[in-house]
Amino acid sequence: MVSLSKKHLGLLCSTILVFSSGCSSPARIPHELLSSAICSEESSKPDRPLQIEESTEYEEPSEDSTTTEEYEPEAQAIEEDPAESATAIYSQLVGHYIHTSGAGAWNASFDLNPDGSFTGEFSDHDVDQMYYSSYSGKFSAPVQVDSNTYRVTLDEFNIDGTIGEQYTKDSMLCTTTTPPGLEKGASYTLYMAGTPVTALPSDFEALTYPLVNIRTNSTLPDPVFVSEELQRSFVQYDY
C-alpha cells in the first residue's frame, strides 16, 4: 500500500471534488501527480538495515562435501644398501687367504679388501720351470645363510697375461696358468671364525689341510672360503 503526503493528498481530494460537483465525465488523477506523490513518500522513509534471518534447522552434510582428515605419512621400510652391507661383512674378513695341499711347493693365495675385491698369485715350481699367474677378482655381496655362514659368488676374475704364454724370469722358464680354486661364476660358502666344526662339510679337513686342524678345535679359528663345486678352500692365513 502506498501512502501520500498531506500536500499531495489535498490535491488529490480537490480533483475528486471536481468530479463530485457534477462534471459530465469522471475527473482523472494526473499521472505526474501520482508518481510524484509515490516517489516523495518512498524517499521520506528512513533506510532500514538489511536483516538476515538465521536458520535454526540442522542441515545434513551433502555427499559431495569433503572432510579434512589429519594426514599421517605412511611408514616406509628403510632399504639397506647392498654395497654397505657387503662392506660391513668383508671388513671383518680383510686379510691373506691361501690354498695349498700341504705337499709340494705350490700354493694359490689372495689378499681380500673391504669391498670383496682381491689380488693374488699362484705358483708351482718344478725343477727348472715354474707355473705362475697373477690375478684379481671380486666376490658378490654375501647372502646370509645363518649367523655364521654366507653364500658368495666369484663375480669377477681376471688373469694377467694369456694362459699358456711362456717367458723367462730369473733364468727360469715361466708359463702362465690357471690357479686352482678360483673360477669366475663359481660359488663359495663363507664360514666365519667361530663356526662350529660340526656345521662344516664332512671332507672339510681334506680341503683345508694343513692350515686348520679340526681335530683339536671345536670351532673355526679363522674364516674360510669353501667351494664344494671346485673341491677347494681358502683359509685366512696371515704370515
**3-state SS record for 61-104:** CCCCCCCCCCCCCCCCCCCCCHHHHHHHHHCCCCEEEEECCCCC
Q: Tens place of pLDDT for every residue, the chain, 239 residues?
A: 445 555 555 555 444 444 444 444 444 555 554 455 444 545 555 555 555 455 555 556 555 545 555 545 454 433 556 667 888 999 999 999 998 866 667 889 999 999 999 999 999 988 889 999 999 999 999 999 999 999 999 999 999 999 999 999 888 899 999 999 999 999 999 999 999 888 887 776 666 655 555 556 788 888 999 998 888 889 898 76
Q: Note the Cα 106 to chain centre separation in Å.
A: 47
| pTM, to two decimals | 0.63
Element (H, E) at 234: strand 232-236
Q: How far apart are CA 36 and CA 218, in angstroms?
A: 123
Residue 139 pLDDT: 97
- CB distance 98 to 211 below 8 Å: yes
Q: How far apart are CA 116 and CA 143, in angstroms?
A: 13
Residue 34 pLDDT: 47
Q: How far apart are CA 65 and CA 72, in angstroms?
A: 21
